Structure 1
């Protein structure tokens, strides 16, 4: 009996240590504006992005700027390594998309894009990841978006903005509700995607949890909502409005959760109708 108690205590201690360690280098990304408008084509613009680390330590991070349709599908255009909150400059930087060559730089928390063109009217994502490997990589990573509007270019503004509750601590075996609100949801935010991660070292793959997708059929009037849970989340996850409700919490449920609001595909708004926001859940 005593041996079992020692083993049980050790297991509990491991859980507690894991929870504490998970919070130390947690990253949170912040953008001041959801949308930035250039004065005219050919203008220089600045997109602001800052981040914080829960421990307060100034550890080097890699800042990657992406463009496109949400965290899962956006493509990298620029990468800055060795960035710190004190120096606010890159140790190395690389332009990953030739269309931005010679026009892009990140320092002092600003991405400067010079001589903007109509094709620069995109949904930009600021991704910050802690440098070096870690067992808590999804917590040491975050990203937020800002739309750049270029006048006279078939301008597309930012249609949706997603707001998610702050990080939380949940109890093993219990249930949790992660609140999510998609602003302007009555007009443009028909589809909701919940997912977790990233789950790979390249920060590109995620585990789907639950989706609500709007279907539109040309042969019949109206639209139809399709609800689906995935993998280990079946029979445990449901939507409450746009929020996620999960029962029978497991230790593996700890990590970074994303609520993504999207405009229904049949409306053809694309990346300007997509926004996502993350929150971290610890299980104790």
Structure 2
């Protein structure tokens, strides 16, 4: 019996090692906001911790949005850094792209601006997105997306993104903001049950009412995702009542359930491996839009 147990442990350890080998190019992104601004004629710097932050430069000043990434293997492979704005990973639109970026060179081989509003004002180098002459319209939720270049096959592990909220003080009003966080990457066993934990942190007068779990991206353009489970809130027009709606999608319908904001998946399949996203947001009827949305991802290996 003890011999069998020993062999089983060794076999499981081997499977975990193989899973880690498969994901050696796994990417993790971290964002921090740094704002350089003039105060009483003196240059000052503010640094904000990771997760979704607010920064408040005045119009006409410059903002520096910091985005760093790591590759699990430690290799310094070229990546494409795409900055997006909008309401979560599924709906954000590209404003700028930098290709051929490496952690050693910290410069772009090529750059492209997709949104004319940022033309001549935006550049990424030294892990900073430089945004010149900040305008009131720059009040947005920014997403730093990093994807490995030259991958032999599409892999959602070789991709990650994080958010930063930028706020211009002269356009200030009491915006709502939620931030989310998920557990670290994990190795799960085939046929077993897994729990993916997700926390939502309420800021100012906001509420963490809705949550969407999805997987991906599922396409080479890193724009499509597979919905797994959602909980959303609706409001009655004739009374103060609100209603919670729960829905699982496709093959996940009979295998998933929510516990708080966390996702429970039963009878794990090999195809369940990949990058999972927990997107938390305020209820749609509150009209907070991208200011009331955040998302974080975690990678799951199945052995």
TM-score, reference length from structure 1: 0.91
- Describe how 1:38-117 pairs up with structure 2 within 5 A: 38-117=56-135
Residue range with higher mean Cα deviation, 52-61 or 29-38: 29-38
- 1:256 aligned residue: 275
Aligned residues: 272
Cα RMSD, aligned residues only: 1.9
- 2:180 aligned residue: 162
The answer on whether the counterparts of 2:206 and 2:292 sit within 8 Å (CA) in structure 1 is no
What whole-Å deviation, never above 9, does each CA across 1:150-200 have from its counterpart, x for those lacking one?
012144656111010000000000000000000118942110000000000
* Residue number among 166, 188, 194 corresponding to 2:213 in the alignment: 194
1:230 aligns with 2:249: yes
Residue range with higher mean Cα deviation, 63-72 or 27-36: 27-36
Please report how far the alpha carbon of residue 218 of structure 1 lies from its aligned counterpart in structure 2 after TM superposition: 0.1
TM-score, reference length from structure 2: 0.86
- 2:236 aligned residue: 217
What is the alpha-carbon distance in structure 2 between the residues aligned to residue 18 and residue 198 of structure 1? 23
Q: Which runs of 4+ in 1 moved over 4 A?
A: 14-18, 154-158
What is the alpha-carbon distance in structure 2 between the residues aligned to residue 189 and residue 92 of structure 1? 39
Residue range with higher mean Cα deviation, 208-217 or 130-139: 130-139
Please report how far the alpha carbon of residue 135 of structure 1 lies from its aligned counterpart in structure 2 after TM superposition: 3.5
Please report how far the alpha carbon of residue 23 of structure 1 lies from its aligned counterpart in structure 2 after TM superposition: 1.6
The answer on whether the counterparts of 1:172 and 1:248 sit within 8 Å (CA) in structure 2 is yes
The answer on whether the counterparts of 2:154 and 2:219 sit within 8 Å (CA) in structure 1 is no
What is the alpha-carbon distance in structure 1 between the residues aligned to residue 132 and residue 67 of structure 2? 17
What is the alpha-carbon distance in structure 2 between the residues aligned to residue 86 and residue 156 of structure 1? 40
What is the alpha-carbon distance in structure 1 between the residues aligned to residue 140 and residue 224 of structure 2? 22
What whole-Å deviation, never above 9, does each CA across 1:193-239 have from its counterpart, x for those lacking one?
00000000000000000000001120343100000000010110000
Please report how far the alpha carbon of residue 39 of structure 1 lies from its aligned counterpart in structure 2 after TM superposition: 2.8
The answer on whether the counterparts of 1:35 and 1:158 sit within 8 Å (CA) in structure 2 is no
The answer on whether the counterparts of 2:193 and 2:268 sit within 8 Å (CA) in structure 1 is yes
Residue range with higher mean Cα deviation, 16-25 or 243-252: 16-25
